Structure 1
Amino acid sequence: MSDSSLLPDDLNDDSDSQHERYSALKTYISEDIRKLALILIIAGFIGLGINYFILCICLGLIVFFALQLRSLYLVNQWISQHSNEPPPDLSGVWGALLFNVYRAQRRERTMQAEMVGLIDRAQSSLMALEEAVVLVDEQHYLEWWNPAAERLLGLKFGDRKRPVQTIMRNPEFIKYFNHVNDFPDGLVIESSLAAGRYTQIKITRFGYDSRLLVAYDVTRIRKLEQMRKDFVDNVSHELRTPLTVLSGYLETLYENDEMPQRWRRAFDQMQQQTRRMNALVNDLLLLSRLESESLQSKNQIIDMAELMNQLFDDAQGYNTEYGHTLNLNLESHNDLIGSDMELASAFGNLITNAIKYTPPHGTVTISWQDRGEEAIFSVQDTGIGINSLHLPRLTERFYRVDSGRSRETGGTGLGLAIVKHVLAQHDAYLEVESKEQLGSIFRAVFPKHRLHPPENPSDHLMDGE
């Protein structure tokens, strides 16, 4: 290298000429060969002059190898002690080696600087967040957190490298931390720092077993939700009495033989709307009760053969004006552990929906069957079906696929919301398959720990129609 001062500016315009200089190994070797040839020629002439040709040639070779050893020594010294400084000015293969090593180091340092800058910016962004962010390592020790975590979770500087379970001792949190996959929506817990404040926590696994914990204050949302529940509950209770009175008077007047015939149609419509309002109020009160009792245990052993037959009988009574073919398949030996009233209400909603939204003389099949370690209550119909665009929102309150059709059938828009709440409280979930004009299948899927095998399976197996 003729100018070592160019080396620190490896990435500037001179780097291209330097790269060209050392672009081929043949070029590097030829430079050393020329040097060797020059030394041997000089030694040969001296040897001829003093009549010691062979001796001078050997001395020339020794000089060449001594120079190579000196270059090797300088390379070793630079790599071991001064690799951050420009390399010594060497020619030939050793110079090319030094240049390439130095260039690789420069590139690596540039990449490291960029990575450090990126990490600094990411960390600054996390520090500015109002949400708490906590990193937990593979041993479940606290590794890093932002200032919001100190405000929301009460973490302190001395908590670093301590097990997260010894800092956040809430039993629900420990259960969530150890079984993250069982809580797809995260966890809401009451803050240990201030009474009446609530924190939403979401944990994500990454790497081998590291975890990212994100938490944020949901106190305002909880208060608004509680206000909504109280409002719905109070309004529903307040509506119940006047609706009962109104329904009673309407029924009395409608049954009066002296009522003019032209008024009967109006009274009939008023009775229909009153019944619809009563159904809506009852559903709202049921939803409110389900929400308030979400933490209560559901540990009754429900005889599914008896419940399925009861549901089938009720469905036959409801089916009178529709003329459907109703089928009952009881293929599972298992009973259920839960609340019989709540499950009967949820299953009944699925059955009445199938009957209502199936054109006359269709087929509705009610089943209780096993699927591996799970058990499924299903209702299949040959109805009008549901467009796949609507399926994700079916269980929302008052969501209607077709508002006109819901008014004609007298639906309240709360049936599937009730089903969702009941199933969630029984650790179950709802599966829906539907195609327009081909019908639908609604499945309530119950996990193994909610099943109770009967003592005499033969008594629980039957098929009905």
Structure 2
Amino acid sequence: MRGNPWPRVLLTRLGLFLVAGLAGWWLDALAEALLVPTLALLGWEFYHLVRFELWLREGRELSPPPARGLWGHLMDALDRRQQRQRHRRRALQRLMTRYRDAARAMPDAVVVLGDDYRVDWWNAAAGRLLGLQWPADTRQRIANIVRNPEFAAFLANDSPVAREISLPSPLHSDAWLEIRLVPYGEDLSLLLARDVTHLHRLETMRRDFVGNVSHELRTPLTVIYGIAETLADELGDDADVGDTMRLLQEQSERMRRLVDDLLMLSRLETGATPSNPEWVDMCPLLEELVEDGRALSGSRNHRFELECERGLLLEGCESELRSAFSNLIFNAVKYTPENGFIGVRWYANNTGAHLAVTDNGIGIPAAHIPRLTERFYRVDSARSKASGGTGLGLAIVKHVLNRHAGQLTIRSQPGQGSTFICTFPPQAIQRAPAPSR
């Protein structure tokens, strides 16, 4: 009975009472005649109500008892709905089982975190990599299991987007893990961890190699530069030899700058936060860097404009910040034509503090912007060599910002100039107290 049962039910009841009423009128006993079908209907309804309640209480997994009329329609409709729900439930259980089996089979650790980063579920790899044990660690805070100050600070940075960190394994100090935290749902997070020990060792070897080679090259390059400078002074009268010595001097100076940048990168790539951070007053630092930019500009006559919010301090290592910001300002000088504009702005808003370096120079095609912070990446090799750059400036900027919890944003259009924005979180800034009168 899939249609509307009410017309048939009402017509049947009305016909029954009409027949009983006519019989009672004929026998001159109308009240008694109407009472009989009333009691019969009440008994019929009560009988089916008892069967319906008994089926709901004890036998809903079975087919409904046979019934006619409205009760048959109700039982059939409810039975069909229950069958659909059972089918959906079984399908959902099969799907959840497949997902759970897939998560268990993953070689990477998968941990489901509930409110306050408490452990709800994990796969076998999480036990191997993070040391989770069932059932002792169920509903434990993950920070109480993976005890690492950097990991605790990583969790405290309550961000709505996915983020990652590399840490030593809590089980083996010589093993390294890359941990990624992905928020989802309401107060839920997915923690993914994978073993990157091999990659970490290769990166350490590469970094040590670059650092050691750069350090060993520094002394001979200094000697070569000194000898070239001396010979250029003594043989200046001989045009051919003098030009050769000056060329040797220029190239050795370029190599020295490259070595210095490589050593700086080697120090920055440790990934650690600056030791003994201090509150840096940015305005005097930027004033010095702008003056250095004017000196580098020389006869090219660039127009500089500095806008600095007084008393806005940044926590960090002053020498590293100086290196990063000088690279941005000097790049603007190198790639901005004569009489161009270079603007430097230091300010704060509700998202943190920002250093913006703007120029109206040659600009950068959009396809190159994502790769600008790679080591030795050049938009135009010939132009970069002519400007004397090492190809490491923006890589240094990126690593300095990473060590200071900052981010670099690049906006540029060819022929219209570029803007490089360094953004620092609110917790990394403070305002200096106003001077007393």
When the two structures are superposed, what TM-score results if normalisation uses the length of structure 2?
A: 0.88
Return 5+ residue gaps in structure 1 as ranges.
Answer: 1-20, 460-465
Judge conservation of contact 2:283–2:309 (CA < 8 Å) in 1: no
Q: String of CA shifts for 1:123-181, please: whole Å, max 9, x gaps.
A: 00000001111122225432211000110011111322334333233233233223342
Counterpart-to-counterpart distance in 1, 2:15 and 2:154: 78
- Which residue in 1 is equivalent to 2:61? 84
- Which residue in 1 is equivalent to 2:101? 124
Structure 1's consecutive aligned runs of 4 or more residues displaced over 6 angstroms after TM superposition are: 42-48, 50-54
- Secondary structure of the residue aligned to 2:215 is helix
Which segment is superposed worse, 67-76 or 412-421?
A: 67-76
- Secondary structure of the residue aligned to 1:151 is helix
Q: How far has the Cα of 1:69 moved from its partner?
A: 2.4
Residue 218 (1) aligns with residue 196 (2)? yes
- Secondary structure of the residue aligned to 1:443 is strand
Which letter maps to 1:330?
Answer: C
- Which residue in 2 is equivalent to 1:229? 207
Q: How far has the Cα of 1:268 moved from its partner?
A: 4.3
Judge conservation of contact 1:298–1:337 (CA < 8 Å) in 2: no
Counterpart-to-counterpart distance in 1, 2:51 and 2:328: 85
Q: How far has the Cα of 1:121 moved from its partner?
A: 0.3
Counterpart-to-counterpart distance in 2, 1:341 and 1:182: 32
Counterpart-to-counterpart distance in 1, 2:154 and 2:268: 23
Q: How far has the Cα of 1:316 moved from its partner?
A: 2.0
Counterpart-to-counterpart distance in 1, 2:24 and 2:2: 34
Residue 198 (1) aligns with residue 176 (2)? yes
Judge conservation of contact 2:274–2:316 (CA < 8 Å) in 1: no
Counterpart-to-counterpart distance in 2, 1:377 and 1:430: 10
Q: What does 1:42-53 correspond to in 2, within 5 Å? A: none
Counterpart-to-counterpart distance in 2, 1:386 and 1:354: 12
Counterpart-to-counterpart distance in 1, 2:405 and 2:393: 19
- Which residue in 1 is equivalent to 2:156? 178
Q: 2:228 aligns with which of 245, 250, 256?
A: 250
Q: 1:347 aligns with which of 318, 322, 325?
A: 325
Judge conservation of contact 2:129–2:195 (CA < 8 Å) in 1: yes
Judge conservation of contact 2:279–2:314 (CA < 8 Å) in 1: yes
Q: 1:413 aligns with which of 344, 366, 391?
A: 391
Which letter maps to 2:118?
Answer: Y
Q: How far has the Cα of 1:78 moved from its partner?
A: 1.4
Q: What does 1:74-113 correspond to in 2, within 5 Å? A: 74-113=51-90
Which segment is superposed worse, 337-346 or 125-134?
A: 337-346
Return 5+ residue gaps in structure 2 as ranges.
Answer: none
Which segment is superposed worse, 106-115 or 387-396?
A: 387-396
Which letter maps to 1:137?
Answer: G
- Secondary structure of the residue aligned to 1:236 is helix
Counterpart-to-counterpart distance in 2, 1:457 and 1:388: 46
Counterpart-to-counterpart distance in 2, 1:263 and 1:172: 58
Q: How far has the Cα of 1:352 moved from its partner?
A: 0.8
Which segment is superposed worse, 340-349 or 228-237?
A: 340-349
- Secondary structure of the residue aligned to 2:269 is helix
Counterpart-to-counterpart distance in 1, 2:291 and 2:390: 23
Q: How far has the Cα of 1:441 moved from its partner?
A: 1.9
- Secondary structure of the residue aligned to 1:177 is helix
Counterpart-to-counterpart distance in 2, 1:43 and 1:364: 104
Judge conservation of contact 2:311–2:433 (CA < 8 Å) in 1: no
- Which residue in 2 is equivalent to 1:12? none
Judge conservation of contact 2:357–2:420 (CA < 8 Å) in 1: yes
Q: 2:127 aligns with which of 119, 132, 150?
A: 150
Q: String of CA shifts for 1:335-380, please: whole Å, max 9, x gaps.
A: 4433222222212111110000001221222333344574433322
- Which residue in 2 is equivalent to 1:208? 186
Cα distance, 1:310–1:171 mapped onto 2, change above 3 Å: closer
Which segment is superposed worse, 227-236 or 362-371?
A: 362-371
- Which residue in 1 is equivalent to 2:3? 23
Judge conservation of contact 1:384–1:436 (CA < 8 Å) in 2: yes
- Secondary structure of the residue aligned to 2:409 is strand
Judge conservation of contact 2:347–2:355 (CA < 8 Å) in 1: yes
Judge conservation of contact 1:333–1:457 (CA < 8 Å) in 2: no
Cα distance, 1:262–1:97 mapped onto 2, change above 3 Å: same
- Secondary structure of the residue aligned to 2:75 is helix
Residue 141 (1) aligns with residue 122 (2)? no
Cα distance, 1:180–1:220 mapped onto 2, change above 3 Å: farther
Counterpart-to-counterpart distance in 1, 2:88 and 2:30: 55
- Secondary structure of the residue aligned to 1:345 is helix
Identical columns (%): 36
Q: 1:309 aligns with which of 264, 287, 301?
A: 287
Judge conservation of contact 1:332–1:370 (CA < 8 Å) in 2: no
Cα distance, 1:373–1:288 mapped onto 2, change above 3 Å: same
Counterpart-to-counterpart distance in 2, 1:318 and 1:101: 84
- Secondary structure of the residue aligned to 1:181 is coil
Counterpart-to-counterpart distance in 2, 1:183 and 1:93: 55
Counterpart-to-counterpart distance in 2, 1:348 and 1:438: 22
Which letter maps to 1:407?
Answer: K
Which letter maps to 2:211?
Answer: D
- Which residue in 1 is equivalent to 2:50? 73
Q: String of CA shifts for 1:208-244, please: whole Å, max 9, x gaps.
A: 3232221111111111110110111122122223323
- Which residue in 2 is equivalent to 1:462? none
Q: How far has the Cα of 1:274 moved from its partner?
A: 2.6
- Secondary structure of the residue aligned to 1:287 is helix
Q: How far has the Cα of 1:304 moved from its partner?
A: 3.4
Q: How far has the Cα of 1:186 moved from its partner?
A: 2.0
CA RMSD, 1 decimal: 3.1
Counterpart-to-counterpart distance in 1, 2:424 and 2:123: 40
Judge conservation of contact 1:254–1:264 (CA < 8 Å) in 2: yes
Counterpart-to-counterpart distance in 2, 1:334 and 1:162: 41
Cα distance, 1:312–1:65 mapped onto 2, change above 3 Å: closer
When the two structures are superposed, what TM-score results if normalisation uses the length of structure 1?
A: 0.83
